[in-house]
Amino acid sequence: MKVTVFGSGYVGLVTAACLADVGNHVLCVDIDAAKIAQLTAGRVPIFEPGLTELVRKNAGEGRLRFTTDAAAGVAHGLFQFVAVGTPPNEDGSADLQHVLTVAASIGSHIDDYRLLVSKSTVPVGTAERIREAVGAKLAARGVRMDFDVVSNPEFLKEGDAIADFSKPDRIIVGAESPRAIELMQQLYAPFNRNHDRVLVMDLRSAELTKYAANAMLATKISFMNELANLAENLGADIERVRVGIGADPRIGYHFIYPGCGYGGSCFPKDVKALIRTASQADFDARLLQSVEAVNQRQKRLLFDKLKRHFGSLGGRTIALWGLAFKPRTDDMREAPSRALIDAVLAEHGAVRAYDPVAMEQARRIYGERPDFKLCDSPEAAADGADALAIVTEWRVFASPDFERLKTLLKQPLIFDGRNLYDPAWLRNAGFRYFAIGRVQASY
């Protein structure tokens, strides 16, 4: 099949590469000429395990191409995927200008039936606005043309996106046209051989499903963080509580790890957008508001612990292990690391940081400055620091040389935002260890 994907960001590029890899001919369209030049040369500007290899393979075999020509994109594909960004507005709502611009562009160039596939994370009712935008352009041209709009939200985890696309848990298709449903089933057939994963529903339900999924996961995280803070006040160990409640199959162990808050490009943005959507529908989404408030507080927790311990962070140096919002990505959008870095620097402290893949992102965000240094290794970051703070649970941090670490730090002091270590073992090794929800292990 011939497929056009508008947008060569994270979602668009993964979608394009994975669809090309099963034999489709995919044309990826983006207005960023520099990015298109990079991709054409085989350089993938985002970090995602396996993506560079997949892009280069399918481009080399002629199934994946890149262009800035929107008209060529509309002419190429029966399927017109809309996978452009929907950044948050100041009020938390999703900014749809890029989505609607693509829709208008398709309407300006369409000369045969096309199936518009909304892949971007968008508020409920966006498919109708896409249809209106295309229809307005057709009317302005004095042309009558059949087209359909479907909602096909993505459920890609950063770090596992290729596996998530290739072996999906579910394929949500929001559609009203039997023709559109049949075409989507044909397109996804290569990813659907084991059993039928396509769930067909109405457009608005499909759009809400994406927000509901991310909001549910964010709620689980904030709930566990709330319990962790309570456990700390009560003298309980949240890790034991986690194991205890996770054993209940109605709860399970997924997304119940306490920590220093969630970040990334999805959960923060989508929770805020859903709160805004609820407000526009005259509904007071109190639980979602609490999920967001708890997360904002949690992202300051490590700083608050450091502040309580030192009193003032002026002149102090904090070693920071982890910059990305989670492992297996270089994404620092809304990352807890940024909340900690910003707070320490605002107090006239200094940060020495290490991350396996997010160093360039940090350099782009913070630039070159004397109070923020990017180091070549975890040990280099710890050398001469007053304390170590851990904000990302990279595997490389799981079992460090604690004896050497004790000699590198000015004092054996660890603030662990991901509860990586055994408190009793560290205490016996001579460390002072502050974790999340584990008050009995502080000294």
Q: Quick one: pLDDT at residue 286?
A: 98
Q: Quick one: pLDDT at residue 1?
A: 95
Q: What is the pLDDT of residues 283-304, one digit of tens each?
A: 999 999 999 999 999 999 999 9
Q: Tell me the one-letter amino acid at 360.
A: E
Specify whether the CB–CB gap between 433 and 442 falls below 8 A: yes
Listed in sequence order, the residues at least 6 apart from 109 whose beta carbon sits closer than 8 Å to its beta carbon are 70, 71, 74, 75
Active site residue 18: no
Listed in sequence order, the residues at least 6 apart from 253 whose beta carbon sits closer than 8 Å to its beta carbon are 242, 246
Sole residue written with tokens 């989507």: 184
What's the mean pLDDT in 252-264?
Answer: 97
According to DSSP, the residues that pair with 237 across neighbouring strands are 438
Q: What is the pLDDT of residues 39-52, one digit of tens each?
A: 999 999 999 999 99
Q: Quick one: pLDDT at residue 195?
A: 79
Q: Quick one: pLDDT at residue 194?
A: 79
Total Cβ atoms within 10 A of residue 231 = 23
d(CA 103, CA 392): 38
Using CA atoms of 45, 46, 51, 56 in order, give the dihedral in degrees to the nearest 10.
0
Specify whether the CB–CB gap between 387 and 306 falls below 8 A: yes
Q: Which residue has the higher pLDDT, 169 or 441?
A: 169
Q: What is the pLDDT of residues 78-129, one digit of tens each?
A: 999 999 999 888 888 899 999 999 999 999 999 999 999 999 999 999 999 9
What's the mean pLDDT in 261-274?
Answer: 95
Q: What is the pLDDT of residues 347-402, one digit of tens each?
A: 999 999 999 999 999 999 999 999 999 999 999 999 999 999 999 999 999 999 99
- pLDDT(442) > 80: no
Q: What is the pLDDT of residues 269-284, one digit of tens each?
A: 999 999 999 999 999 9
- pLDDT(256) > 50: yes
- pLDDT(178) > 50: yes
d(CA 414, CA 434): 6
- pLDDT(406) > 70: yes
Specify whether the CB–CB gap between 186 and 1 falls below 8 A: yes
Burial 94-105 (b: 16+ CB within 10 A, else e): bebebbbbbbbb
Q: Quick one: pLDDT at residue 184?
A: 98
From the list 28, 260, 266, 375, the catalytic residue is 266
What's the mean pLDDT in 42-64?
Answer: 96
Q: How far is CA 255 from CA 222, 225, 252, 298, in A?
A: 10, 11, 9, 16
- pLDDT(441) > 50: no
- pLDDT(427) > 60: yes
Mean predicted lDDT score pLDDT of the chain: 96
Residue 439's pLDDT band (cuts 50, 70, 90): confident
DSSP letters along 317-384, please? EEEEE--SSSTT----TT-HHHHHHHHHHHTT-EEEEE-SS-HHHHHHHH-SBTTEEE-SSHHHHHTT
